[in-house]
Structure 1
Amino acid sequence: MSNFPRSIFCLLLCIPSLLFAQSMEWNEIHPGIWKGIAGKPDSYDLLKAAGAIPSPALEKLENAPFPLNKADIDARVINGKTYLRFPLEKKEQLFGFGLNFQHIHQRGQILQLHADHYGKSDNGRTHAPVPFYVSSLGYGIFVNAARYIDVYAGSGVRKDSKNPPEVQDRNTDENWSARPYSDAVEMLVPAEGVEIYVFAGPKPVNVIERFNLLSGGGCLPPRWGLGFTQRVNRLYTSEQVRQEAKAFEQKGFPLDFIGLEPGWQSKSYPCTFEWDKTRFPDPSGFIREMDSLKIKINLWTNPYVSPDASIYKKIEPYTGTHTVWNGTVPDLSMPEASKILFDLFEKEHVKIGVSGYKIDEVDGYDSYLWPDVATFPSGHTSEQLRQTYGLLVQKYSYDMFRRNGSRTYGLVRASNAGGASFPYVIYNDNYSHEDFITALINSGYAGVLWTPEVRASKTAEEWLRRFQTVCFSPMAMINAWSSSMQPWTFPEVEPQIRAVAELRMQMMPYWYSEFAKYHYNGTPPFRGMSLEEGFGSGLKKEKTVRNLEENPYEEAVANEVKDQYMAGEFLLVAPLFTGQTFRKVILPKGKWYDFYTGKLAGEAEVITISPGLDRIPVFVKDGGIIPMMPAMLHAPGSGQKVDLEIRHYGVKNGSYKLYDDDSESFDYEKGLFSWREIKVERQKNGLLKGRISKAEIGKPNTVGTVTWRYMTK
């Protein structure tokens, strides 16, 4: 050894801490999806926590070439951390990186993907910190790690860059930028290795579809979940809930499920998960009565166990070292803990007819959630539990409903990659209407659902504007846990509120079919304009007047479309916010028509509209078909037939696939579902004529009489 060069000896000692993975092997695990492994990944990751089972639909997809130059993907493990680098082209925009609230365009962002409550800054701390991004060039990257991941989304410039930015002289160049061009997305994962997935397109929407199908496909809620929900005051009694339900019926407002807030429990913060017999003396009788009124019951809870809970001693060995509001934290990554908790839920709630949950406070803040110094009996770190706790509560509660043969639809405060198939919608305590719509758009890039819920308003205008947007979102909900507000709280806009609530119900066949496409095809039911063909990438920069005294590094940024979105296959929704009397709408390529009148609105142009207060602006693409049903107070039940009015817009022929099943059970997984093809074609006499395919023998058929309405005259 004395003759062996000391420098080479030291280099050999360092090799275990430096793993260069430039020649990483990529295995195509499904058509258009490749998996690569760098180093030694954690045994516990996002997909394992979610129990994600890829959808069989993946194998029916067309093959596609690997969308990047493999040599440009770099992964290396240094001192127990994994450094990742993915290439970027100059004319490329990025979308995704979780449920963000202020930005659609993610290129140039610096984030730490960390499960937390949204704190009014897009810094990666959010309810769904999904480590997945989509490129405008039609590919996607997913890093499957239950870790806090640092992301530099085209914001860091390496000195060995293949495409370095041009060196500028700020003294003479008025286009000098404080953020020089970067040709890479770089990530730092605090683990000794990681799984990486690459998704082909060819279109960005196809990338998202593949990502969602890898998680099992999107959720398919029961029809009643797509109706209207009212969350009542936190301390309401069973009698007060009855009176609320009767008031909805008397006033003619739709209502499908009522959410009970903390007061249904004997104790909360921390929780017993047991009924308060002073407020709800006969829980099973109460739920039977609500069910007879066609109203489901949803229960608020969080998973932190009160010392007064009947399961406290039994579950205590399977809890973490720290408490939340003095409640123990079950280590739900352990089957023993999840069984104890959800066996209680099943016995006390589901077996007597409870239809769903609102699972609160599984996201953050650091000030109340368990700290990162906490340890858990499974051996998984606090960080790993933080990143996956929302997945775990969804998985085990959903499994419970599956065992009982009934679909559910509820609310949760946190999710992550792998959770697309769980029938839960994210919400939070922020109340910015504008941020809510940005989040709704971003949810489509992240494989999650989000609701811009209504809680309270200072004016009738604000109340109506907020109400309009929830009726064009995954969950039409008033959350009156504190305000006790009701749809008719502002009498001056009560007719408009009723009209949009009825419209939500009329559109049930459309919403249900679009969620079926989410389940079977992975297509997000609500999504950003960048995913709409003919809209363009939105990369064109506007010149702005810069105030260098206030900000010496200010620069022009790429335009973002954060206030309009696609709702299903055919609808473009352009909400207005409080105080707005007009707005601009960007119409993609092709003709677009007013949803309410059928009149031509424009074609591949920016229009300015002044719709008034009564309606939320909605536009339909040429040839669009919207199946509608009569306005009902409750969603159709299992096997209930409803008449259809099928609307056609524009001048082009159109087609649409209408989905049907029993709407409440899991029989669709046994093949008991159908797609009915709707076609509208122009005849030789110049008139349009519609037809719908016959119902399949032995398959569900809830379609009654069909009428046709050709909206464009």
Structure 2
Amino acid sequence: MKKIFTLILFIALQINAFSQTVDLATGVKKITSGTADKFTPYSFCTEKPMTTALDKLPAGKLPFNISDIRININERGVVVEIPLDDSEQLYGFGLQIGSFNQRGLRKRPIVNDNPLNDLGYTHGPTTFYVSNKGYGILINTSRYTTFYCGTTDKLKNKANTKADGKGGNSVEELYKNDNAAAGNVTVDIPGAKGIEVFVFEGPDVKSVIQRYNLFSGGGALPAIWGLGVKYRVKADFTQNQVNKMADYFRVNHIPCDVLGIEPRWQTASYSCSYVWNKDFFPSPQGFIDTMKAKGFRVNLWEHAFVSPSSPLYEPLKNKAGNYLVWNGLVPDFADTAASNIFAAYHKKTFVDEGISGFKMDECDNSNIAFGNATWSFPELSQFPSGIDGEQMHQVFGVVYQKAIYNIYKEMNQRTYLDVRASNAFASSYPAALYSDTYEHDEYIRMILNSGFSGMIWSPEVRESNTIKDFMRRSQTAVLSAQTLYNSWYLQNPPWLQINKEKNNKNELMDNAKEIEADVRTLLNFRMSLVPYLYNAFADYRLKGIPPFRALVMDYPQDKNTFNLSDEYMIGDCILAAPLTEKQDERKVYLPAGTWYDYNTNQKYEGGKHYTIKPSLTQLPIFIKEGTILPLAKPVEHVAANTKFEITCYVYGNATAATLFEDDGLTFNYEKGNYNTVNLLWNNGKGAVTRSGKFKNTRYIIKKWQVIN
């Protein structure tokens, strides 16, 4: 028996010798050891790598030999060890809410409906991290996995194991971990019998992220109207009440592109019937047509758990998990047939009738941090496809949004969805994540972390403590991937009454119109920014560059950016530094170069900290010298035939910029049907040239203005 045990141990310790390494694309390698799981994040990625764009990225080089990545398989599962040097900084693990620089932490990226603290529970977990040394590691598993980010060291690695005899004078000293300089990231994957490890080469942080996004099929390019403003109405609004809300926006000239309809549009919502409630919406098609005539897109709230009263119940009954949620079926989205049934019904019943998108709620598991949170299916669930409950939880948001997104893709119609869970290799899906948490500083941090994950984050605005709180949150929403006001429990827009009880009694604030005007100012800026944002998203799609990203991605050698979690880049030229309710002023760090305060045009030398005091209607942003910033005359909504009238602001020694121009609605750009609009500044004169196959004009350059 002892000999058998010794043999097993020997095989486990030597399993790395049987690993296979293959090149999947330029700068992307895969190490396989043992028998990998059938259901992994990459197994659900059907988008093909963008090989041409990948080939154009600069060549990267790992700071270690790839053979130094050790994979051990034992009775517990799989352990992966990746080299880590003393100076490395680590980022990623999905849409993290409680941490930014992950070095020295134990991370457990698990999907959870109530993200908290810094362990890793989140709406968008991934087993992917990136190092500032210019490489990324993705452990391709849907199992609950733990990463020890330089926090553990083995006995055999210690030259002297003698106790130092020191005591501690405080709790912090007693429990301090001195292994932060440990030489590995150690990954624990219980239950696995093998693993795939994806390695993404740099040479820098941004290139690693580009490579990951391009390998995933490219970044998302939402419909251009999705970059406007979305407003979700109260959950129990009737068709008539939604009509009145639409009229309110248009009469008061407040920009809005999308109205989101909350649960009561259905005959049953927990679980879902996916059937219009005629008591609330007596004429669904008439309602959709009326909204379209007023310039609004309609987005419907739902979740994936199928009510016994739903027409989908019987077709999916044998294609669902063996546990119920709210007495409803859990569709086996790992089974193509189940996904197709779910999608076909949505296409015929909603999308063909004009619904522009969906809010896909409750796909992120009940809160695993508390014993009384039990609404979702258990990890021991079994599904006909063979996937288990643990793995299904991790990928549920991805396979759900994939089923819905494919409806629009096959119809050659772009959308912009909302979803409450995602995972790895989902970069190409135009779905903005949201949360029921509401800490403003965490919402800002998640903008940065989304850029490391191929995800889109929406720091939506609900009710607020004070006017100042509301306006600061609105500034952040305007400076994010999706500007969203969620009034699902408010009778009136929150800017008319921030107090929930008074709002629902129709008791508006005395200064409601004044605040409304301030909000209009912020939202008009958002609409001015749409062409610039659309170009940034085109770079995301075609080059893999996240439109919203941490400064360390652009300035990986600047130590001041290593832990900077409340400033971020918007595209290549705008630096945002949002404030919260607690701040009348804040310190902002500007990296190398020269920067202009957007509000005052004051110039600042980079590499230094400054104190700024933006008002509630001023956007806390800085423009990089050398920028031509195209800002459009605000429109109240983006229509198919909208032409943006643009003023080009020339900052310092700027010479050129581009805009991505297409119909904004279809996937025809994938066939080359788009233009590159070149904005040129030379000898005090501006010029515009176009190249491409798009026959129409969406951008009209009206003026040039120099900022010295």
TM-score of the superposed pair, with normalisation by structure 2? 0.92
User: In structure 2, what is the Cα distance between the partners aligned to 1:605 and 1:19?
Assistant: 51
2:43 match = 48
C-alpha deviation, 1:700, in angstroms: 4.3
Counting only pairs closer than 5 Å after superposition, residues 253-652 of structure 1 correspond to structure 2 as: 253-365=254-366, 366=368, 367-486=374-493, 488-490=495-497, 491=512, 492-533=514-555, 536-538=558-560, 560-635=563-638, 637-649=639-651, 651-652=652-653
The percentage of aligned residue pairs carrying the same residue is 34
| Distance verdict in 2 for CA 1:220–1:160, change over 3 Å | same
CA RMSD of aligned residues (A): 2.3
2:500 match = none
| Distance verdict in 2 for CA 1:700–1:76, change over 3 Å | farther
User: In structure 1, what is the Cα distance between the partners aligned to 2:37 and 2:487?
Assistant: 42
2:656 match = 655
C-alpha deviation, 1:18, in angstroms: 5.1
| Distance verdict in 2 for CA 1:172–1:437, change over 3 Å | closer
SS in 2 for 1:677: strand
Question: Conserved in 2, the CA contact under 8 Å of 1:623 and 1:648?
Answer: yes
Unaligned runs of 5+ in 2: 369-373, 498-511
- The correspondence for 1:130, drawn from 116, 126, 129, is 126
| Distance verdict in 2 for CA 1:655–1:118, change over 3 Å | farther
User: In structure 1, what is the Cα distance between the partners aligned to 2:572 and 2:255?
Assistant: 25
Question: Conserved in 2, the CA contact under 8 Å of 1:324 and 1:370?
Answer: yes
Is residue 2:243 matched to residue 1:209? Answer: no
User: In structure 2, what is the Cα distance between the partners aligned to 1:711 and 1:428?
Assistant: 39
Question: Conserved in 2, the CA contact under 8 Å of 1:456 and 1:485?
Answer: no
C-alpha deviation, 1:99, in angstroms: 1.0
What is the letter of the counterpart of residue 55 of structure 2?
E
What is the letter of the counterpart of residue 297 of structure 1?
V
1:145 match = 141
C-alpha deviation, 1:63, in angstroms: 3.3
User: In structure 2, what is the Cα distance between the partners aligned to 1:126 and 1:244?
Assistant: 33
1:188 match = 188
Question: Conserved in 2, the CA contact under 8 Å of 1:461 and 1:578?
Answer: yes
Unaligned runs of 5+ in 1: 1-5, 540-558
User: In structure 1, what is the Cα distance between the partners aligned to 2:694 and 2:168?
Assistant: 76
Question: Conserved in 2, the CA contact under 8 Å of 1:593 and 1:602?
Answer: no
User: In structure 2, what is the Cα distance between the partners aligned to 1:102 and 1:10?
Assistant: 43
Is residue 2:82 matched to residue 1:86? Answer: yes
User: In structure 1, what is the Cα distance between the partners aligned to 2:575 and 2:87?
Assistant: 26
Deviations 1:556-579 (A, max 9, x none): xxx732221111111111111113
User: In structure 2, what is the Cα distance between the partners aligned to 1:26 and 1:538?
Assistant: 36
Point out the more displaced range, 68-77 or 15-24: 15-24
Deviations 1:619-638 (A, max 9, x none): 01111221111110012x33
User: In structure 2, what is the Cα distance between the partners aligned to 1:567 and 1:172?
Assistant: 45
Deviations 1:540-597 (A, max 9, x none): xxxxxxxxxxxxxxxxxxx732221111111111111113111100010111101123
What is the letter of the counterpart of residue 417 of structure 2?
G
C-alpha deviation, 1:652, in angstroms: 2.4
User: In structure 2, what is the Cα distance between the partners aligned to 1:202 and 1:531?
Assistant: 12
1:703 match = 699
| Distance verdict in 2 for CA 1:617–1:518, change over 3 Å | same
C-alpha deviation, 1:139, in angstroms: 1.0
Question: Conserved in 1, the CA contact under 8 Å of 2:675 and 2:693?
Answer: no
Deviations 1:265-305 (A, max 9, x none): 11110100010011111111111111111110000000101
Counting only pairs closer than 5 Å after superposition, residues 677-696 of structure 1 correspond to structure 2 as: 677-681=678-682, 683=683, 688-696=684-692
C-alpha deviation, 1:603, in angstroms: 2.1
Point out the more displaced range, 469-478 or 96-105: 96-105
Deviations 1:105-157 (A, max 9, x none): 10111122211123322212211111111111111111111111111111111
2:509 match = none
Deviations 1:297-322 (A, max 9, x none): 00000010111112212211111111
User: In structure 2, what is the Cα distance between the partners aligned to 1:173 and 1:116?
Assistant: 37
What is the letter of the counterpart of residue 137 of structure 1?
K
| Distance verdict in 2 for CA 1:451–1:149, change over 3 Å | same
Question: Conserved in 2, the CA contact under 8 Å of 1:529 and 1:535?
Answer: no
SS in 2 for 1:230: strand
User: In structure 1, what is the Cα distance between the partners aligned to 2:162 and 2:436?
Assistant: 44
User: In structure 1, what is the Cα distance between the partners aligned to 2:160 and 2:318?
Assistant: 55
2:26 match = 31
2:66 match = 70
SS in 1 for 2:198: strand
C-alpha deviation, 1:699, in angstroms: 4.2
User: In structure 1, what is the Cα distance between the partners aligned to 2:159 and 2:284?
Assistant: 66
User: In structure 1, what is the Cα distance between the partners aligned to 2:8 and 2:645?
Assistant: 75
1:555 match = none
Deviations 1:197-220 (A, max 9, x none): 111111101101101111111110
Question: Conserved in 2, the CA contact under 8 Å of 1:39 and 1:76?
Answer: no
1:550 match = none
What is the letter of the counterpart of residue 204 of structure 1?
V
User: In structure 2, what is the Cα distance between the partners aligned to 1:151 and 1:173?
Assistant: 30
C-alpha deviation, 1:661, in angstroms: 0.7
C-alpha deviation, 1:413, in angstroms: 0.5
User: In structure 2, what is the Cα distance between the partners aligned to 1:13 and 1:141?
Assistant: 28
Aligned length: 681
C-alpha deviation, 1:97, in angstroms: 1.1
C-alpha deviation, 1:168, in angstroms: 6.2
| Distance verdict in 2 for CA 1:610–1:332, change over 3 Å | same
SS in 1 for 2:298: strand
Question: Conserved in 2, the CA contact under 8 Å of 1:487 and 1:494?
Answer: no
C-alpha deviation, 1:170, in angstroms: 4.0
Deviations 1:58-78 (A, max 9, x none): 233343334422242111111
C-alpha deviation, 1:487, in angstroms: 5.7
User: In structure 2, what is the Cα distance between the partners aligned to 1:25 and 1:452?
Assistant: 42
User: In structure 2, what is the Cα distance between the partners aligned to 1:622 and 1:163?
Assistant: 52
User: In structure 2, what is the Cα distance between the partners aligned to 1:573 and 1:165?
Assistant: 48
Question: Conserved in 2, the CA contact under 8 Å of 1:19 and 1:78?
Answer: no
Counting only pairs closer than 5 Å after superposition, residues 215-254 of structure 1 correspond to structure 2 as: 215-254=216-255
C-alpha deviation, 1:655, in angstroms: 2.6
| Distance verdict in 2 for CA 1:472–1:689, change over 3 Å | same
Question: Conserved in 2, the CA contact under 8 Å of 1:50 and 1:395?
Answer: no
Deviations 1:239-282 (A, max 9, x none): 11110010001111001010000011111101000100111111
SS in 2 for 1:220: coil
User: In structure 1, what is the Cα distance between the partners aligned to 2:178 and 2:92?
Assistant: 21
Question: Conserved in 2, the CA contact under 8 Å of 1:225 and 1:408?
Answer: yes
Point out the more displaced range, 577-586 or 119-128: 119-128
User: In structure 2, what is the Cα distance between the partners aligned to 1:65 and 1:614?
Assistant: 46
1:548 match = none
User: In structure 1, what is the Cα distance between the partners aligned to 2:326 and 2:159?
Assistant: 52
